[in-house]
A = this chain, B = another copy of it.
Amino acid sequence: MTTPQNPSGEDSLIARYFKPLATDPGAFGLVDDAAILSASGEDIVVTTDAVVEGVHYLAADPPDTIARKALRVNLSDLAAKGAAPAGFVLTLALRSKDDSWLRPFADALGEDAKAFSCPLLGGDTVSTPGPQMISITAFGRVPKGRMVSRTGAKPGDRILVTGTIGDAALGLGVLTGGALAGALASDPAARDFLVSRYRVPQPRNALAGAVRDHVTAAMDVSDGLAGDLAKLCAASGVSAIVDVPSVPLSPAVAGLIASRAAGIETLLAGGDDYEVLCTAPAGRSDSLIAAGQAAGVAVAAIGTIVEGDGRPRFLDGQGRELVLKRQSFSHF
């Protein structure tokens, strides 16, 4: 990854766009084949998530939002694991090296890397004849043995979630046209809000320390609240009851549900929320909510962990169970 006397296209691309992001000494300015992640007795948390054109983002999405999403879906995992970001490596599969795409992509990636204290450590840039793909492996640090797992939820724990649920699923609905776009024609602010929630997740890294201190289990909601809660419950050997009216909704989503332009069942199974889903004993859950207030991150209690191994149940305001046609997004 250096710039030799006879720089190849790949090397000059890396030097031009990505070397400025490699601010960590362990990145060696991207002039080596590998990076160093120094460790002093803490655990290194490793997570990897890829975004594919046409699957996780739309080909017409602005390159700066694609860059932010690619990094933030990984930062969101680190937040849910209670880890402080330490850096990331980037694999970029490109059809062409188009400056009008790469420049805003790299600039936005650099801004987020700085904002989240997660410097670029290395990467690989390859050509592909197919859809573009950005694969990121991100690293975090936690005190030894303190990574928050999915497996610790206990009957009686409260179920909590950050932010609001369903915005991104409706944002994607807006971008792909159809009835939803019509329902929002008279409310461009709501439309823009939902689209931005799809394109640019807000990872809850500000809450990572409190997550580590207070919760029994956590994961980020990426494939839909219902399906992801089912995964957390399965990993913990428990079940759950969710009070659907307590699920936090943005005003835009609440308005669309009130006007019947969207259904809550769809949102509970929608993807791309990138909020933290976690469980905590009652006293601890109050501490987490308070920590969220201090950090500017809304945290809402939405239900209770119960014994059993059945699928989590979602109850409406009258205690009736909602039937979800699907639980979550799946690639296959």
Rounded to whole Å, the gap between the CB of A203 and the closest CB of chain B is 13
Known contacts A126-B331, A150-B33: does B89 contact A48 (CB below 8 Å)? yes
Which of the residues B125, B128, B330 comes within 8 Å of A133, measured between beta carbons? B128
The residue on B at minimum CB distance from A150 is B32
Q: Decide if A97 is an interface residue (CB 8 Å cutoff).
A: yes
A-B contact pairs, 6 of them (CB 8 A): A36-B147, A38-B43, A46-B137, A54-B129, A56-B126, A128-B131
User: In the complex, are the beta carbons of B150 and A83 less than 8 A apart?
Assistant: no
The residue on B at minimum CB distance from A233 is B4
Rounded to whole Å, the gap between the CB of A59 and the closest CB of chain B is 11
Known contacts A97-B332, A129-B130, A235-B2: does B135 contact A34 (CB below 8 Å)? no
How many monomers of this chain does the complex have? Answer: 2
Q: Decide if A44 is an interface residue (CB 8 Å cutoff).
A: yes
- Chain B residue numbers with a CB within 8 Å of A6 are 227, 230, 311, 327
- Chain B residue numbers with a CB within 8 Å of A56 are 126
Which one of A7-15, A252-260, A283-291 is at the B interface? A7-15
Prevailing SS type, chain A contact patch: mixed
Known contacts A3-B234, A50-B126: does B45 contact A42 (CB below 8 Å)? no
Known contacts A9-B331, A10-B331: does B137 contact A31 (CB below 8 Å)? no
Interface 1/0 per residue, A193-204 and B, CB below 8 Å: 000000000000
For the complex of A and B, list the 3 residue pairs with the smallest distance between their C-beta atoms, beginning with the closest: A130-B130, A39-B39, A9-B332
Which of the residues B41, B52, B83, B330 comes within 8 Å of A40, measured between beta carbons? B41
User: In the complex, are the beta carbons of B310 and A32 less than 8 A apart?
Assistant: no
Besides A11-B330, A46-B89, 14 new A-B residue pairs in contact (Cβ under 8 A), listed by A number: A5-B234, A8-B223, A8-B328, A10-B330, A31-B151, A32-B81, A33-B220, A39-B39, A55-B128, A56-B126, A91-B137, A124-B135, A127-B331, A133-B133
Interface 1/0 per residue, A20-42 and B, CB below 8 Å: 00000000100111111111111
Known contacts A33-B80, A46-B37: does B4 contact A234 (CB below 8 Å)? yes
- Chain B residue numbers with a CB within 8 Å of A78 are 34
A39, B94: Cα distance in complex, Å: 34
A330, B33: Cα distance in complex, Å: 15
A34, B13: Cα distance in complex, Å: 31
Q: Decide if A103 is an interface residue (CB 8 Å cutoff).
A: no
Rounded to whole Å, the gap between the CB of A255 and the closest CB of chain B is 30
User: Restricting to A133-175, which residues have a CB under 8 Å from any CB of B?
Assistant: 133, 135, 137, 139-140, 144, 147, 149-151
User: In the complex, are the beta carbons of B127 and A52 less than 8 A apart?
Assistant: yes
Q: Decide if A77 is an interface residue (CB 8 Å cutoff).
A: yes
Rounded to whole Å, the gap between the CB of A57 and the closest CB of chain B is 12
